[in-house]
């Protein structure tokens, strides 16, 4: 019997109902056992499948990402949701520190099966919520050190970090830890801004500078960096040309208007090749008509459909981590933005887990594949 408060209990059989009725089983030694993940190999241990709202009310229980279990470390996990609640590096509207908390609250709507991709990632991988980095709200440099140290521990376990921001400053210390393990990585950067400024008000660390710092420290493979959705005004052309000089591919938003981005993402996959790739998605890449609750909104942005196309277009890449940043819940007075943020984050992470890590898993474990494993591309 599982207990959720003093008065709410469900049977183990009921809690396992959705797990039993999913096709996430494989034949092994003439017995049907749970498909194993890259981390646990043939342990046969059950996965952290979120309890169905058919048995446990969505509004009940502790607020974790997708109502997954919480654990303190990434040990034994294939992927982990982690929050970095800071907005100390923000230059305009604050509020991103509340992002992780609100994402978790909205994620109670999450169901574990994706009808579009036919993916049930939580039945193939061990995933949990490992809480937030303990940031220093008064010292950004110390916060960056804390983030870097926390992600070093995550990377050491082989777990893939799925990050909820927080402002875009966090990409810098995260990529420091990622590059320590994988070397220079490719980058798919979706944003209204290049975030390659050098110094802002005398400071080299902030939400407008992370990718210049990353280039200076050799964290990025510059020939495998693409920035999508850039737009708006700047103080000079240098802010935009610097990226091109480094070898980045820069896709202005004008190149995205009124069209599908599927052809673009096919080119991005070819550019990234088989090397490690980090995906960084700033919510201000989307038009503020869809996503008003962000720190530095810019008009004429991407649509939610294009955002999903970008995320799905990352299928097959060797993704070693991802983030979604710059959500500022106080500036979404209608709740539309929070739902959209949740929706994009959900699609991103479910598709990321199911179509990327799972893709690698299938490649490495072909003998365990069955027909249902093949998604409808």
User: For 284-316, what is each residue's pLDDT tens digit?
Assistant: 999 998 888 899 999 999 998 898 899 889 888
In a domain, 29, yes or no: no
Q: Which residue has the tokens 């990402």?
A: 65
Residue 143, SS3 per DSSP: helix
Q: Of 56 and 199, which is predicted with more confidence?
A: 199
Query: Domain span at residue 93?
Result: 65-373
In a domain, 264, yes or no: yes
In a domain, 3, yes or no: no
Predicted pLDDT of residue 162: 92
Whether the Cβ atoms of residue 130 and residue 70 lie closer than 8 Å to each other:
yes
Q: How far apart are CA 67 and CA 164, in angstroms?
A: 15
In a domain, 241, yes or no: yes
Give me the number of domains the chain comprises. 1
In a domain, 55, yes or no: no
In a domain, 45, yes or no: no
Neighbours of 268 (CB within 10 A): 22
Which residues, including other chains, have CB under 8 Å from residue 189's CB and lie 6 or more apart? 195, 211, 225, 226, 227, 228, 280, 282
Q: For position 326, which CATH number holds?
A: 3.40.800.10
Listed in sequence order, the DSSP H helices in the chain are 12-15, 17-21, 99-106, 140-156, 171-182, 210-216, 238-246, 262-272, 304-312, 336-352, 358-364
Predicted pLDDT of residue 4: 36
Q: Which DSSP symbol is given to 132?
A: E
The distance of Cα 121 from the centroid of its chain, to the nearest Å, equals: 14
Neighbours of 211 (CB within 10 A): 28
In a domain, 41, yes or no: no
Residue 34 has pLDDT above 80, yes or no: no
Buried b (16+ CB within 10 A) or exposed e, 104-135: bebbbebebebeebebbbbbbbbbbbbbbbeb
Straight-line distance from the first to the last Cα atom of the chain, in angstroms, rounded to the nearest whole number:
40
Residue 216 has pLDDT above 90, yes or no: yes
Residue 165 has pLDDT above 70, yes or no: yes
Residue 242 has pLDDT above 70, yes or no: yes
Residue 142 has pLDDT above 60, yes or no: yes
Give Rg (Cα) of the chain.
20
In a domain, 51, yes or no: no
Q: Considering only 87-101, 103-117, 123-137, 265-279, which range has the smallest mean pLDDT?
A: 103-117
Predicted pLDDT of residue 335: 58
Predicted pLDDT of residue 23: 35
């Amino acid at each position: 019997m599982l207990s959720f408060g003093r008065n709410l209990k469900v049977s183990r059989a009921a809690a396992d109902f959705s797990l039993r009725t999913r096709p996430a089983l494989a034949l092994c030694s003439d017995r049907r056992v749970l498909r194993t993940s890259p981390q646990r190999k043939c342990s046969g241990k059950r996965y952290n499948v979120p309890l169905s709202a058919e048995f446990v009310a969505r509004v009940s229980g502790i607020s974790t990402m997708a109502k997954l279990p919480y654990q303190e470390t990434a040990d034994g996990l294939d992927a982990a949701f982690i929050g970095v609640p800071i907005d100390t590096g923000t230059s305009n509207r604050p509020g991103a520190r509340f992002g992780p908390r609100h994402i978790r609250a909205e994620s109670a709507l999450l169901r574990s099966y994706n009808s579009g991709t036919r993916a049930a990632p939580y039945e193939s991988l061990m995933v949990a919520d490992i809480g937030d980095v303990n940031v220093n709200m008064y010292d950004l440099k110390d916060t960056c050190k804390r983030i870097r140290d926390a992600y070093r521990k995550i990377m050491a376990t082989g777990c893939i970090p799925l990050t909820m921001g927080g402002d875009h400053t966090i990409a810098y210390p995260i990529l420091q830890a990622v590059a320590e393990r994988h070397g220079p990585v490719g980058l798919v950067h979706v944003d209204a801004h290049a975030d390659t400024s050098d110094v802002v008000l005398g400071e080299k660390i902030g939400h407008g500078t992370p990718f210049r710092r990353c280039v200076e420290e050799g964290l990025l493979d510059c020939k495998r960096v693409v920035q999508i959705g850039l737009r708006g005004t700047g103080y000079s052309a240098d802010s935009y040309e610097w990226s091109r000089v480094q070898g980045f591919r820069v896709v202005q938003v004008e190149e995205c208007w009124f069209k599908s981005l599927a052809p673009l993402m096919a080119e991005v996959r070819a550019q990234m090749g088989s090397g490690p790739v980090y995906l960084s998605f700033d919510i201000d890449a989307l038009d503020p008509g869809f996503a008003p609750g962000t720190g530095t909104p810019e008009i004429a942005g991407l649509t939610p459909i294009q955002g999903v196309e970008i995320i799905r277009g990352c299928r097959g890449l060797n993704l070693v981590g991802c983030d979604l940043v710059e959500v500022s819940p106080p500036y979404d007075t209608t709740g539309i933005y929070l739902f959209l943020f949740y929706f994009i984050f959900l699609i991103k992470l479910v598709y990321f887990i199911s179509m990327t890590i799972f893709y690698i898993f299938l490649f490495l474990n072909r003998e365990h594949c069955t027909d249902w494993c093949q998604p409808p591309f």
